[in-house]
Amino acid sequence: MTTKVTGRRFRLKSPARATAMTLGVLVLVLLAAYLPLCAAARQLTASEVWADSSALVIAVACAGVGLVVAWHQPRNLLGWLFLGIAACFVLSIDSERYAVADYRLSHGTWPLGPASLFLGPLAYPAIVALGLVILLFPDGRTGSRRWSRVLWAYLVIGAAWPLSIDAVTVGAIAGHSIHILPSQLSRAGP
């Protein structure tokens, strides 16, 4: 007697599922790049990794929740917000390590140094997006017109924070005054 075993095929039935899976894989790749970038920046110590642990845990949790929600309910904005939050946190941490390795140790000779200065502060929009999750919970929509106004006010105020940081970064790059602090965080400006 033989038993025929048939398994479920893994199929991406929609572009939304393919996009969700791509974002999930992107977060995994960025997480895998974390330790090599720490080593390149000479910041592979327990205290440095511990300092990043809370953001990494939040990123992993958001990526897991975001992937599940975006996979099963692609029209729910919360899944996409969670995936974006995860990607922003990990990309921010990786970019800051890259900036330290480039500007502090290699004197600005790496190819993507200026890009790392713009990507480093991506944790700030991620923090703003965490507030959006609260406003849009549980179905990805605001409850009433009044909450829509609150949402727009929150977005305007929340956008001012990262845009002001980007303005300082542009000025620092244009004026060739990029300074990396001795701590793990990179900063552009005087």
In one-letter notation, the amino acid at residue 71 is: W
Asked if pLDDT for residue 190 goes beyond 50, the answer is no
Q: What is the pLDDT of residue 169?
A: 83
Can you list the pairs that 134-138 forms with residues at least 24 positions away whose Cβ atoms lie under 8 Å?
136/77, 136/78, 136/81, 137/78, 138/78
Q: What is the pLDDT of residue 85?
A: 96
What confidence tens digit (pLDDT) does each residue in 141-167 have? 887 888 888 889 989 998 888 888 888
Per the DSSP assignment, residues forming a β-bridge with 41 are none
The answer to whether residues 186 and 96 touch, using CB atoms and an 8 Å cutoff, is yes
- Would you list the DSSP string of 18-70? HHHHHHHHHHHHHHHHHHHHHHHTT--SHHHHHHHHHHHHHHHHHHHHHHHHH
Residue 141 CB neighbours (<10 A)? 15
- Residue of 183, 188, 189, 62 whose CA lies nearest to 120: 188
The encoded tokens of residue 31 equal: 């997480």
8 vs 128: which has the higher pLDDT = 128
Under the banding of pLDDT at 50, 70 and 90, the label for residue 71 is very high
Q: What is the pLDDT averaged over residues 19-35?
A: 95
* Count of residues making up the chain: 190
23 vs 173: which has the higher pLDDT = 23
What confidence tens digit (pLDDT) does each residue in 97-114 have? 999 999 888 888 899 988
The pLDDT mean for the chain works out to 86
